[in-house]
């Protein structure tokens, strides 16, 4: 009954991006009030096959909502999501899930504590009716675990999540996501909950999967250093909207939007940057139920001028920048 | 060495397992904290950094005890031998000499008490003579230090945002004019912008009030802009200690080098440094020789046997590695950005 024949990873159709978001709005009603929280407020985004796309921003900027909306876990209030060139439909969710999987931040909460590792990795195959023969399922489970760095898989097969360390759990999550051989993985802060040396191990697994299988990654993070090392392209979000986007070298190497500059200047690093002046923004991220008029960043912006209070800027190429580099600021 | 405020020598903290054997969680830890200095204590979870800090306040959980070593504090009341103190003795110095800011400020504040009452309680406990007016003035002063509006002093913790609560925690830690403030992951639960605000606040307070600070974190990058010196802990020992620049730019312990590599830096190489394989050892069953050798990319035959002591590798810079100091180029940091990043 599959309308779209599933394609094996790696030889995906090149003419369409993996995902495309057009004018995406997600508004949540606030109980007892007339106002709504605008988690996403007009997002356009292209995520290509085999691409590592970083979504960067402070907590509450809408980056997780964006990931969830792309996967159909959250219905957009307005706008549409195209998956491989076709609009997301309720009936096509099963096919979507088979080809795009998700890795959440907290591996302690995303594994069923009452299932063994062996069952956990086979479950997606059972749900999607792939590899109907038991032996084949086990083989694919073993392969997925070993690809995720849990080798030899027999050592982990009969264990329960509580018997594993945080890093091992996150690798089980990655293995279960990868067992269906998806085209894309949405990773929502996949290493924030992990310890330093384990973090590097998990990141290595992800980059190897990307290199060997042409896996696309949507990497949601607040860690700009990680985005720098891992991503091909980056989108910076502020209050439900993308304020700057382009290749990693463009956005992080040569930021144009004052918000991006400020964000980059405050991220702690062992080797502080000399080319950016440290600009700590005062106050906190405004409430997404009362987005400031004009440019949404103007109340905290160090470069604010009178016009910023009136004009809601669109994404455009800043003067002197390459065409792929876009920023939403009237002053650049 | 008149400027040494806190002197920890050969500290060991242990518990007894079911068979009655001593298991050391912290072993042979020595460091000094000078007046007005910020020292960072960094390492992965379980390396003993929090245990070390709690022992300075006499706050060790019941099953842990100090197995050896001494802790001396050259306080405003004279030299204090913290290792000889009982609970009652510690109670006098907590907040008044040494105070601590924890990671989860929501759990550290009493949800049923107004912020001002919680502060008044701490102030009164250590200054019996102070009158109501005095308390009120002190609270206003403390709120001023941490950039909170005094109008909010009578609110409850739930009315504060995460960043404001952390500010209130810091104000509370300063209530009795301590000499040392310990920050145990004080910014880990906060967002980047809020983290920057809090770190800047701590820095200002240290400068203005002449505080000494012990900052405990797993995030090495946080230390670069806030600390003068760092001690890197691994499996209950200090693996490397030194001034921040020396340690970050020419690490002398393979663990430090790889740990730093786990923090990719904007402007540095756009690749991931090789991860450290495996996991830290079980304290009940530590490896022989150098504790890091099973995971070390530079390990050789000699590392598997015998005790490894701290060696001096430079000005106030020491590493617990048989091969330290390393020849130049052998332990290059992995992610230093090119100096000439175009601005």
Q: Cα separation of B267 and A321, whole Å? A: 19
CA atoms within 13 A on the CB side of B316: 14
Long-range contacts of B149-152 (CB under 8 A, 24+ apart): B152/B115
Into how many domains does chain A fold? 1
pLDDT at position A2: 39
* Structure-token match 């990693």, residue found: A248
Residues B130-148 have pLDDT tens digits of: 999 999 999 999 999 998 8
Strand-pair partners of B66: B13
Strand-pair partners of A47: A19
Confidence category of residue A14, pLDDT binned at 50, 70, 90: low
* Residues A207/A229, Cβ–Cβ less than 8 Å: no
- Average pLDDT of A317-328? 94
Confidence category of residue A59, pLDDT binned at 50, 70, 90: confident
* Residues A35/A86, Cβ–Cβ less than 8 Å: no
- Average pLDDT of B102-121? 86
pLDDT at position B310: 94
Closest by Cα among B69, B64, B52 to B9 = B69
Closest by Cα among B61, B57, B64 to B25 = B64
* Residues A155/A149, Cβ–Cβ less than 8 Å: no
Cβ–Cβ gap B341/A267 under 8 Å: no
Cα distances (Å, whole numbers) of residue A303 to A243, A265, A274, A275, A331: 15, 15, 20, 18, 8
Which uninterrupted H or E stretch holds B139? Answer: helix B132-145
End-to-end Cα spacing for chain A? 51
Strand-pair partners of A247: A233
Q: Cα separation of B230 and B317, whole Å? A: 10
Statement: residue B28 has pLDDT above 50: yes
Cα distances (Å, whole numbers) of residue B142 to B41, B137, B176: 26, 9, 10
Statement: residue A237 has pLDDT above 50: yes
- Average pLDDT of B112-129? 90
Question: Quick check: is A171 in a domain?
Answer: yes
Confidence category of residue B2, pLDDT binned at 50, 70, 90: low
Chain A residues with beta carbon closer than 8 angstroms to that of B235: none
Cβ–Cβ gap A284/B261 under 8 Å: no
Q: Which residues of A66-82 are buried (b: 16+ CB within 10 A; e: fewer)?
A: bbbbbbbebebbebebb
* DSSP tally for chain A: helices H, then strands E: 10, 11
pLDDT at position A321: 92
Statement: residue A1 has pLDDT above 50: no
The alpha carbon of residue B39 and the mean position of all alpha carbons in its chain are separated, in whole angstroms, by: 7
- Average pLDDT of B53-65? 92
Question: How far A305 CA lies from chain B's nearest CA (Å)?
Answer: 22
* Residues A69/A26, Cβ–Cβ less than 8 Å: yes
Q: What is the CATH number of the domain that holds A175?
A: 3.40.50.300
Q: Cα separation of B3 and B31, whole Å? A: 14
> Which residue in chain A is spatially nearest to B222 when comparing CA positions?
A268
Question: Quick check: is A265 in a domain?
Answer: yes
Cβ–Cβ gap A266/B192 under 8 Å: yes
Q: Cα separation of B246 and B244, whole Å? A: 6
Note whether ipTM > 0.85 here: no
User: Chain A contact for B264, CB < 8 A?
Assistant: yes
Question: Quick check: is A87 in a domain?
Answer: yes
Cβ–Cβ gap B248/A264 under 8 Å: no
SS3 B249: helix
User: Chain B contact for A91, CB < 8 A?
Assistant: no
Residues B208-220 have pLDDT tens digits of: 999 999 999 988 8
Q: Cα separation of B308 and B233, whole Å? A: 14
Q: Sign of torsion, CA B167 B172 B178 B181?
A: negative
Residues A37-52 have pLDDT tens digits of: 999 999 999 999 999 9
User: Chain A contact for B338, CB < 8 A?
Assistant: no
Give percent of chain B with pLDDT exceeding 90: 59
Chain A residues with beta carbon closer than 8 angstroms to that of B163: 284
The mean pLDDT of chain B is 90
Statement: residue B55 has pLDDT above 80: yes
Give percent of chain A with pLDDT exceeding 70: 95
Q: Cα separation of A179 and A221, whole Å? A: 24
Cβ neighbours, 10 Å, residue B332: 12
Statement: residue A138 has pLDDT above 90: yes
> Which residue in chain B is spatially nearest to A203 when comparing CA positions?
B272
Owning domain of residue A299: 19-327
Cβ neighbours, 10 Å, residue B298: 18
Bond preceding residue A152 cis, omega within 30 of 0: yes
Helix B254-261 with A196-213: angle, nearest 10 deg: 60
Q: Which of B44, B191, B266 sits opposite A269 (nearest CB)?
A: B266
Question: Quick check: is A74 in a domain?
Answer: yes
Q: What is the largest CA-CA distance in chain B?
A: 69
What DSSP assignment string belongs to B266-284? Answer: TTS-SSPPPPPPS-PPPTT
- Average pLDDT of B291-304? 94
* Residues B285/B267, Cβ–Cβ less than 8 Å: no
pLDDT at position A258: 95
Domains of chain B with bracketed CATH = 35-59+86-227 (3.40.50.300), 239-319 (no CATH)
Strand-pair partners of B7: B32, B72
Q: Which residues of A220-234 are buried (b: 16+ CB within 10 A; e: fewer)?
A: bbbbbbbbbbbbbbb
């Amino acid at each position: 009954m599959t309308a779209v024949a599933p394609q094996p990873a790696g030889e995906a159709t090149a003419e369409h991006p993996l995902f495309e978001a057009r004018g995406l709005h997600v508004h949540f009603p606030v109980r007892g009030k007339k106002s709504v929280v605008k988690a996403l407020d007009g997002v356009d985004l292209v995520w290509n096959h085999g691409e590592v796309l970083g979504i960067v921003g402070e907590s509450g900027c809408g980056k997780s909502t964006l990931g969830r909306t792309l996967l159909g876990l959250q219905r957009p209030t307005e706008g549409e999501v195209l998956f491989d060139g076709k609009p997301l439909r309720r009936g096509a969710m099963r096919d979507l899930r088979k080809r795009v999987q998700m890795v959440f931040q907290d591996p302690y909460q995303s594994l069923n504590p009452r299932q063994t590792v062996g069952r956990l990795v086979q479950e997606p195959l059972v749900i999607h009716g792939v590899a109907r023969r038991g032996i084949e399922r086990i083989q694919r489970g073993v392969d997925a675990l070993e690809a995720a760095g849990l080798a030899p898989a027999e050592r982990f097969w009969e264990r329960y999540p509580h018997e594993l360390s945080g890093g091992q759990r996150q690798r089980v999550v990655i293995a279960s996501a990868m067992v269906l051989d998806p085209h894309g993985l949405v990773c929502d802060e996949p290493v924030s909950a992990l310890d330093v040396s384990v973090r590097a191990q998990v990141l290595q697994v992800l980059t190897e999967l990307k290199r060997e299988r042409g896996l696309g990654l949507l990497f949601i993070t607040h860690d700009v250093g990680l985005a720098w090392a891992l991503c091909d392209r980056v989108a910076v979000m502020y209050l439900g909207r993308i304020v700057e986007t382009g290749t990693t070298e463009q956005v992080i190497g040569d930021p144009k939007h004052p918000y991006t500059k400020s964000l980059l200047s405050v991220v702690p690093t062992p080797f502080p940057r000399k080319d950016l002046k440290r600009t700590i923004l005062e106050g906190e991220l405004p409430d997404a139920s009362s987005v400031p008029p004009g440019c949404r960043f103007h109340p905290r912006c160090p470069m604010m001028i009178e016009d910023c209070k009136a004009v809601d800027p669109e994404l455009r190429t800043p003067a002197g920048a390459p065409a792929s580099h876009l920023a939403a600021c009237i002053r650049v | 060495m008149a400027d040494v405020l806190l002197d920890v020598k050969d500290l060991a903290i242990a518990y007894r397992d079911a068979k009655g054997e001593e298991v050391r969680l912290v072993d042979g830890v020595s460091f000094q904290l000078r007046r007005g200095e910020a020292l960072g204590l960094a390492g992965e979870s379980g390396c003993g950094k929090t245990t070390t800090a709690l022992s300075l306040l006499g706050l060790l959980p019941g099953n842990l005890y100090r197995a050896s070593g001494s802790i001396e504090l050259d306080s405003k009341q004279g030299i204090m031998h913290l290792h000889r103190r009982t609970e009652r003795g510690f109670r006098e110095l907590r907040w008044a000499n040494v105070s601590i800011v924890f990671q989860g400020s929501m759990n550290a504040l009493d949800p049923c008490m107004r912020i001002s009452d919680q502060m008044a309680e701490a102030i009164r406990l250590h200054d019996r003579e102070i009158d109501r007016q005095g308390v009120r003035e002190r609270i206003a002063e403390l709120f001023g230090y941490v950039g909170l509006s005094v109008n909010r002093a009578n609110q409850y913790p739930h009315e504060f945002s995460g960043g404001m609560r952390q500010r209130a925690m810091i104000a509370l830690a300063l209530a009795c004019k301590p000499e040392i403030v310990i920050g145990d992951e004080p910014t880990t639960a906060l967002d980047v912008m809020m983290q920057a605000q809090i770190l800047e606040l701590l820095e200002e307070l240290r400068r203005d009030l002449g505080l000494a600070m012990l900052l405990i974190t797993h995030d090495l990058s946080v230390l670069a802009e806030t600390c003068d010196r760092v001690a890197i802990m691994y499996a209950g020992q200090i693996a490397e200690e030194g001034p921040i620049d020396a340690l970050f730019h020419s690490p002398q312990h393979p663990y430090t080098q790889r740990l730093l590599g786990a923090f990719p830096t904007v402007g540095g190489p756009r690749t991931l440094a090789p991860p450290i394989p495996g996991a830290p050892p079980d304290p009940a069953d530590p490896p022989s020789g150098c504790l890091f050798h099973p995971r070390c990319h530079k390990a050789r035959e000699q590392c598997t046997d015998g005790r490894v002591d701290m060696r001096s590798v430079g000005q106030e810079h020491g590493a617990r590695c048989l091969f330290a100091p390393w020849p130049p180029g052998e332990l290059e940091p992995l992610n230093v950005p090119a100096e000439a990043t175009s601005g």
